[in-house]
Structure 1
Amino acid sequence: MTATAQPTTLPDGRSLLWEHTGWDDPRAQELRAAMDAEIGPRYAALRGSAPRPAQPTTEDVAVVVLALVGAPATVAATGTLRRLADRWEVKRLFIDADHRRFGLARRVLARLEEAARERGASELFLQTGNRQPEAIALYEREGWARIDVFAPYDPADGISVCFRKALTPRP
């Protein structure tokens, strides 16, 4: 677990500290559970009893980013960088409902992109769902390009929207 040395500030004046942790961190687990509770119902009728793709594991997760806001610090956002055999993938980006509209999603995404660069990645991939217009808008705004649905996601289910982003090296 590592934190950045200098906190930054949100537009409302609250401090923002970044922490890199692992998949099993209970704070990240709590945010992912909130994500499932919020997003899951959007897809229940579409998914039916179809199995979901396998979730990340501690073995394939390179880093989990946490955004800690305020004092005392509240875990406000999370995102995961996953290493698969053929690609790097952004997973489980979620902002707590009380911390939205402060640019945290964009900042988490940028942190994940930088973590991927540091690990030698030249491109990143992600999958979201067609019933998450706020996520789709974020990715498009941040320079991600829509691509064909890739495995393990099912192009026939009508749910997945996939993206790719080329990572330019830092000087």
Structure 2
Amino acid sequence: MTAVDRGTARLRDGRSLTWERTTWDDPRGAALRAAMDAEISPRYAALRGGDRPPAPPTVEDVDFVVLALVDGEVAATGTLRRLPDRWEVKRLFIDAGHRRLGLASALLEQLEDGARERGADELFLQTGNRQPEAIALYERQGWQRIPVFAPYDPADGISVCFRRSLAPR
């Protein structure tokens, strides 16, 4: 992938990549999040039993949503959620037909830039222990593992949490 500057860039294969900031209730992002739930939820069904996962973000606590469009087609999404004491990356998802293009790393950069614009000097995120591809991405991108933070339950054995210091650009 070539450098991304919030506008349009080119992927290695020549397709156009455009970044679009939107809102939590944008139906395109909602469709990607539904696809994420359909893909990820079965991985945790046996671990959770009848327990419900933590509540998803709401329109009230989401401050920033970005979509990646590849040749105009929605390919990925990511969100920044404002918690009382921190900014958290939420619902980062790449459509199955658009994986292995570098979108996840570029999307993390977009979210990091969005957090910097909001005055954050660090970011946090939570993923699950049955998402080794996500864990590998975050470690590769320089995120450090940290103890499980609220609102996640350290006793459930599922959550894997990370922190990243944001140096100014």
TM-score band w.r.t. shorter chain: over 0.9
Aligned partner of 1:158 in structure 2 is 157
In structure 2, what residue type is equivalent to 1:64? V
Q: Distance in 2 between matches of 1:151 and 1:122?
A: 19
Identity over the aligned pairs, expressed in percent?
A: 75
Please give the alpha-carbon distance, in whole angstroms, between the structure 2 residues aligned to 1:74 and 1:17: 9
Deviations 1:68-97 (A, max 9, x none): 001xx1000000011111100000000000
| Partner in structure 2 of residue 50 of structure 1 | 51
TM (normalized to structure 1)?
0.94
Q: 1:143 — aligned with what?
A: 142
Residue equivalent to 1:24: 25
User: Which residues in structure 2 correspond to 1:58-137 (within 5 Å)?
Assistant: 58-70=59-71, 73-137=72-136
Which consecutive unaligned segments of at least 5 residues does structure 1 have?
none
Q: Which runs of 4+ in 1 moved over 4 A?
A: none
1:19-64 deviation digits (Å, cap 9, x = unpaired): 0001000000000000000000000000111122121111111111
2:96 and 2:69 mapped to 1: Cα distance?
14
Q: Deviations 1:65-124 (Å, cap 9, x if unpaired)? A: 100001xx1000000011111100000000000000000000111100000000000100
CA–CA separation in structure 2 for the residues paired with 1:107 and 1:157: 31
Q: Shift of the alpha carbon at 1:6? A: 3.7
Unaligned runs of 5+ in 2: none
Normalized against structure 2, the TM-score is what?
0.95
